[in-house]
Amino acid sequence: MPGPSRTNGSERDRLSEALDQLAQRPQRDDQGRFTPGNSAAVKSGARSDGFWRAIGGVKQETLHRLRSDLALDRDIPTTLEALLDAFAEATLLRRSLFLRLARSGGAITSRGRSRAAFNAYLAVADRERRLALDLGLERRQKPLPSLEEVMAGE
């Protein structure tokens, strides 16, 4: 059984950089109106095309590690592929929400209320856990090639 989820430093840094780039975009125009793609009103980023484009490389790394952890090859059922994709997205969304909460001062506002991002974090963490259970938490063994495949050099 693999150990706890591991996030290497470069993945965390790339996720943080992507969030920083989104926050650096102009939020308002000269008349004070919000500009397209602003992040001022973003609560979770789940529906942000800019967010998902910015972390596309990190998502691919996460999918690659998932496939390796679960010993999966390229030929997997479409439903399993969809579960892997959803798990990677939930994981990255949860991590980005954590970073957002940490940057905003925590889960509770100065008035003692729970931040909307904290509620989103809890919902995404629960979804991530459910997807992990669907995928299975144990490492699978890769199937060995047949003697004929070895002899053919495949």
Q: Where are the domains of the chain?
A: 9-25+49-145
pLDDT at 83: 94
* 95-154 pLDDT per residue, tens: 988 988 888 888 888 888 888 889 999 999 999 999 999 988 666 667 778 888 888 876
What distance lies between CA 118 and its chain's CA centroid? 16
pLDDT at 40: 59
* 59-100 pLDDT per residue, tens: 898 899 888 888 887 788 899 999 999 999 999 999 988 988
pLDDT at 1: 36
Given a contact cutoff of 8 angstroms between Cβ atoms, the answer to whether 78 and 29 are in contact is no
pLDDT at 53: 78
Rounded Cα distance between 117 and 3, Å, is 28
Given a contact cutoff of 8 angstroms between Cβ atoms, the answer to whether 76 and 85 are in contact is no
For 26, the token pair is 């102009």
Residues 10-28: what's their mean pLDDT?
A: 70
| Dihedral pair phi/psi, residue 75, rounded to 5° | -90, 85
Given a contact cutoff of 8 angstroms between Cβ atoms, the answer to whether 57 and 14 are in contact is yes
Task: Give the CB-side neighbour count of residue 23, counting CA atoms within 13 A.
Answer: 12
0.75 exceeded by the pTM? no
pLDDT at 27: 65
Rounded Cα distance between 56 and 84, Å, is 15
Residue that the structure tokens 């926050």 belong to: 23
pLDDT at 17: 78
DSSP lists the bridge partners of residue 108 as 114
Least confident range of 27-31, 43-47, 139-143: 43-47
